[in-house]
Structure 1
Amino acid sequence: MAPKERKNDPRPHRPNKPNAGAQRTAPTHGKGDRKRTAGKPDNRPSGPRAPAPDAPVWLWGGHAVLAALGNPRRRCRRVLIAGENVETWEAEVAELLEARSDVRKPEIIARHAFAQYLPASAVHQGVAVQADPLDQPELDVLLASLPTDQPAALLLLDQVSDPHNVGAVLRSAAAFGASAVVTTKRNAPGETGALAKAASGALEHVPYPHVTNLARAMETAQQHGFRLLGLAQEATSTLADEAGTDRIGLVLGAEGHGLRQKTRATCDSMVRLPTRGPVAELNVSNAAAVGLYELIGRKTG
C-alpha cells in the first residue's frame, strides 16, 4: 500500500540517505558527557614514557660493574652474576661489597635470566648491577673548582646521540685526564648500560654534566678562561696550530651533522685534525681521542 501523502506540512521532503550519520563529524563532549564520565579511569594508551632522570639503571659488563661497585659516590641496589660466570666475578665482587653498606652479596642467577633485566643486545659478560645515576655537578661549579695553576681540557659534545660513541669519548677523557665531558640535555644519551659498557668504567671517574643550552655553557667556559676550538674537517687551521693555552676545550659535533651554526659562532676558532688519504674523517670518539692526545698527551708524555 502506498504511503499516504502528507498535507499542509510546510517542511520540505528529504529522502533518507544510507549511512547519513557516518558523514557527520564525531560529536564533541558537552557538560552532560563530562558528568557521565567523571570519576572513571581513562584507559586510553598514552604511549611509552621516558624513565625519570633519577630512576635506577642497570649497568653491565665487567669493567663498568666493578668500577661502579668501587665508587663510593654510587648507590647500588642489586648485583647479578650468571651461574656460569661465578668463578670469574664472585671473589672480586665480594671484595668490593665488603666496603659497601647498600648491597651485601650478589644474586647468582641463570645466564638466560639476565634477559628479564637487560636489553637483548646487552653484552653483559655475566655480571650486572642496578644502581642510581650519579649526581653530576653543575658546569659553573665544576669549572670554578678547577685549579687555576694547572692545565685543563674539556670536551663539549654538540648533540652527539649515540651512547657507544659518548661512552668511548668518556673512556678517552679518563685516559688523558680531561676535566669533564659536557653534553646537552636533549639529543644526547643519559646514563645507560650501553654508555657505561662503552666507557669501560670511565663514567665513574669523569664528570658528565648535561646542559640546557650548549652555547651558553660554552660562554661560561670562556668566562673561566677556556679557549674553545670547534672541530671541522673543512677548517684551515689544525688543532696543533691553535692549542697553545693551558685551558682549552674541544667542541665536537655528531657524525653527519657536525656542529650547529650557533655552536660554531661561539667557538674561538675552528680547527681540523691533520688527516689525509681516502678516508679523511674520523668518527666523533676517535676524533676526541686524537684531539685529547694533541692537547694533553704530547705535553705530558
Structure 2
Amino acid sequence: MAGNSHRRGAIRKDGTKKGQVVGSGGQRRKGLEGKGPTPRAEDRYGHPAQRKAAAAARTDKKRANSKNKSEGPEIIAGRNPVVEALRANVPATALYVALNIDADDRVKDAVHRAADKGISILEVPRDELDRKTGGAMHQGLGLQVPPFEYTHPDDLLAMARDSGEAPLIVALDGVTDPRNLGAVIRSAAAFGAHGVLLPARRSAGMTAVAWRTSAGTAARLPVAMATNLTRQLQSWASAGLMIAGLDADASLEIDNLDLATDPLVIVLGSEGKGLSRLVRENCDYTVSIPMAPGVESLNASVAASVLLAEVARRRRITGRV
C-alpha cells in the first residue's frame, strides 16, 4: 500500500547489519570521488614502460646471479687440464675423482701431485661430478679452484713503487678470452712487470682457464680490478705514470719507445676492436709494432710479449730495472 513505511525493503530489517536495499546507499557519490594521482607508467601493469622496466629488472637479476656464481669456487674439468693445472701450481682446494674411474697415467699423476701438495682427494659418483662441472667433459677428474682475490689498484701502484724500480703495469681493455688473459699475465711476469689491471666490465676474469694458462704466475703477480678503467688511468697519470696504448694507427713505433724506462702503464686492447675511444684519448702515446705486409694484427698475448720484451731490453741497457 502506498505510504506504508513498513513495506519490505524500505527500512532496515531487524537483526541485520545490512543497510537499505532501496537506493544506492551513497555508492554513487563514492564512485565519483577521485582515486588519487595516476600511477607512473612504470607502475601500470601492461604499459610498455612497465614491461621494459620488468625486463631490465630480470636482466639485472641474471647478472647478479651470474656474478655470485663466478665468485664461488670453479672446477677445472678433464684429465689433461687437471694435470696441467697441478703442474702449474694453480691453487686448488680439492681434487674430485669419479668412482670406478679407469686410472690411466694422467689420473695417477693427478692423484700423486694432489697428495704431495696436501690437496683433498674426494671420490664422488660420476653423476655428482657431472653436476659440479656443469655437464663438462670431465673424464672422471675435476679440480676445485678457490675464488681469485684481486688487488686494489692503489695497492698495486704502491707495491710497484716499493720495488725500487720504475713502475711497469699492464692494463687490458676489452680482452675477453681467459686464455689471452692468462698468457698476458705470464708474459708480464716474465718481462718484469709489477702487475696487471683489468676493468670490471667487458673483460675476462681470473677463471680456472686463466689460472691454468698463466702457468701459475698469477699466484705471485698482483692482478687488480678497476671499476672504471678510464678513470683509473687518469688517476695513475696524475700520479706521474706515462700511459702508452698499443694501437695499429699509432703516433710512435716500438723502435722509438724512449719512455720505456719511465714509470709506465702499457694498455692493450682486444685483437678485433683494439683500444676503446675513451681509453685511447687518455693515453699519452700510442705505440705500434711494425709487421710484414699482409699481417694486420697480433692477438693480445703475443702483442704484449713483443712490447714487454722491448721495454725489458731498454731497461736492462739503461740499468733502470
Task: Give your verdict on TM over 0.5.
Answer: yes
Structure with higher Rg: it is 2
1:296 maps to 312
> Out of 130, 135, 145, which is 2:159 matched to?
145
Alignment-derived partner of residue 227 in structure 1: 242
TM-score, with length taken from structure 1: 0.71
Alignment gaps of 5+ in structure 2:
1-43, 47-60
Verify: 1:287 aligned to 2:317, yes or no. Answer: no
The separation in 2 between residues aligned to 1:173 and 1:148, in whole angstroms, is 15
Structure 1 residue ranges without an equivalent (≥5): 1-26, 30-45, 98-102
Higher helix share goes to which structure?
A: 2
Q: CA deviation at 1:57?
A: 1.7
Distance in 2, matches of 1:279 and 1:259, equals 19
For residue 140 of structure 1, report the CA deviation from its aligned partner: 0.8
Give me the whole-angstrom Cα distance separating, in 1, the residues matched to 2:140 and 2:240.
Answer: 45
How many positions carry a matched residue from both structures?
247
Shift in Å at residue 228 of structure 1? Answer: 1.2
Is the contact between residue 253 and residue 259 of structure 1 (CA under 8 Å) also seen in structure 2?
yes
CA RMSD of aligned residues (A): 3.0
Identity of aligned residues (%): 28
Shift of 1:298: 5.3
**Structure 1 counterpart SS, 2:266:** strand
| Cα distance in 1, alignment partners of residues 300 and 252 from structure 2 | 19
TM-score, structure 2 normalization = 0.67
Tell whether 2:276 aligns with 1:255.
Answer: no
Aligned to 2:113: 92
- For the residue of structure 2 that corresponds to 1:235, the secondary structure is coil
Q: CA deviation at 1:183?
A: 1.1
- Equivalent position of 1:78 in the other structure: 94
Letter in 2 for 1:58: I
- Are the structure 2 counterparts of residues 56 and 148 from structure 1 closer, same or farther at C-alpha, using a change threshold of 3 Å? closer
Spell out the pairing of 1:267-286 with structure 2 (5 A cutoff).
Answer: 267-286=283-302
Q: Deviations over 1:135-178 (max 9, x none)?
A: 21110112112226313321111121121211221121222232
Q: Of the candidates 199, 222, 244, which is equivalent to residue 214 of structure 2?
A: 199
Give yes or no for the alignment of 1:107 onto 2:122. Answer: yes
Instruction: Report the counterpart of residue 200 of structure 2 in structure 1.
Output: 185
Work out the CA distance in 2 between the residues paired with 1:288 and 1:261: 20
Q: Distance in 1 between matches of 2:200 and 2:166?
A: 27
2-side partners of 1:77 and 1:276: how far apart? 47
Q: Which is bigger in relative contact order (C-alpha 8 A, separation at least 6)?
A: 1
Contact kept? 1:143, 1:224, Cα under 8 Å: no
Stretch deviating more after TM superposition (54-63 or 158-167):
54-63
